[in-house]
Structure 1
Amino acid sequence: MSLPPSAQKVQDSLNALGFGGCEVVEMPDTTRTSAEAAAAIGCTVAQIAKSLVFKGRQSGDPVLVIASGTNRVDTKKLAALLGEKTDKPDADYVRERTGYAIGGIPPVGHASPLRTYIDRDLLQFEVIWAAAGTPHAVFRLTPDDLVRMTGGEVVEIAQPPSA
């Protein structure tokens, strides 16, 4: 079965990076949000590696933060890492800088290189799932795969939801 062009681009990137064992799959149900992805896959929301794009307020540069689906990114910690505050960019900026629409942003295969941070909380899982270019495509990987394929810096940048 052939993949949509955006999902195929992710699979091609995975293959080129030496992660051909990570297979992009199309789900019948939407995987746009972490909760929807977990329900479609049959895993916990925490096992979803959500990719969020932020924009440096002064530089205008994109930064990718990959965090557990249950956690919220601490923008103060992100600003401290970057040396500048960040904003949430609009959908056009995200598509221009990544090549993908919000709800399908993968950890690899972007239109231009992105500085990447991976929240340490994701490292606790044996298996995680990431978006693969469309709101219906995902792929299975390990936290170690994620770190190696993205070259991302592992940091404590997200917080679990408040009790």
Structure 2
Amino acid sequence: MSALSPSAQRVQAVLDGFGLGHRVVEHEGSTRTSEEAAASVGCDVAQIAKSLIFRGKDSGRPILVIASGVNRVDEKAVGRLIGEKIERADPEFVRASTGYAIGGVPPVGHAVPPLVLIDADLMALPMLWAAAGTPNAVFRLTPEELSRLTGGRIEAVRKG
């Protein structure tokens, strides 16, 4: 097995700190989208835990919404849940607040600790896959582990 890229290695180091045995895997092809990630690891698109960064409109703080790969996030609902309107984050804000580029943002190890909401739909699935620092790196975990590792609140964030 070849060595991980620097960004994926940073995620692996964070995961090692939790001591649960998670392993980052880098694929030849892209795992940037939920569909690509699911095809690469051989799971259902719903099992992809996509990390989406938003920005608090007033506070400017990073908001991490971890959503099922098949769901769109209801931004108004997220705003109500956190008590502040949110806006989409630009690539520079995402990199500055997480330390990673869009397409590889992991749910853990961010430069600025975000407020975290977890899509309630993920909790019904047996196993999840999340991005691990690059557009072709992922790691596997259970919904319960996702909740424990991120300290996120489980909420209904799906649009529709």
| Partners of 1:127 and 1:144 in 2: CA distance | 9
- TM-score, with structure 1 as normaliser: 0.95
State the Cα distance separating 1:105 from its structure 2 match.
0.3
User: Within 5 Å, which residues of 2 pair with 1:105-144?
Assistant: 105-144=105-144
State the Cα distance separating 1:42 from its structure 2 match.
1.0
State the Cα distance separating 1:76 from its structure 2 match.
1.1
Q: Helix, strand or coil: the match of 1:73?
A: coil
Q: Helix, strand or coil: the match of 1:38?
A: helix
Indicate the residue corresponding to 1:68 in structure 2: 68
State the Cα distance separating 1:159 from its structure 2 match.
3.3
Indicate the residue corresponding to 1:56 in structure 2: 56
State the Cα distance separating 1:33 from its structure 2 match.
0.5
Indicate the residue corresponding to 2:16 in structure 1: 15
Q: Helix, strand or coil: the match of 2:122?
A: helix
State the Cα distance separating 1:17 from its structure 2 match.
1.9
Count of equivalent residues:
159
Q: Which ranges in structure 1 are unaligned for 5 or more consecutive residues?
A: none
Indicate the residue corresponding to 1:4 in structure 2: 5
State the Cα distance separating 1:124 from its structure 2 match.
1.0
Indicate the residue corresponding to 1:151 in structure 2: 151
Residues 1:99 and 2:99 aligned together: yes
* 4+ residue segments displaced more than 6 Å: none
- TM-score, with structure 2 as normaliser: 0.97
Residues 1:43 and 2:52 aligned together: no
Q: Helix, strand or coil: the match of 2:139?
A: strand
Moved more, 150-159 or 30-39: 150-159
State the Cα distance separating 1:36 from its structure 2 match.
0.8
Instruction: Look up the equivalent residue of 2:30 and give its one-letter code.
Output: T
| Partners of 2:86 and 2:154 in 1: CA distance | 19
Instruction: Look up the equivalent residue of 1:125 and give its one-letter code.
Output: L
State the Cα distance separating 1:18 from its structure 2 match.
2.2
| Partners of 1:82 and 1:159 in 2: CA distance | 16
Instruction: Look up the equivalent residue of 1:47 and give its one-letter code.
Output: Q
| Partners of 2:140 and 2:18 in 1: CA distance | 15
Q: Is the 8 A contact 2:129 2:139 kept in 1?
A: yes
Moved more, 137-146 or 74-83: 74-83
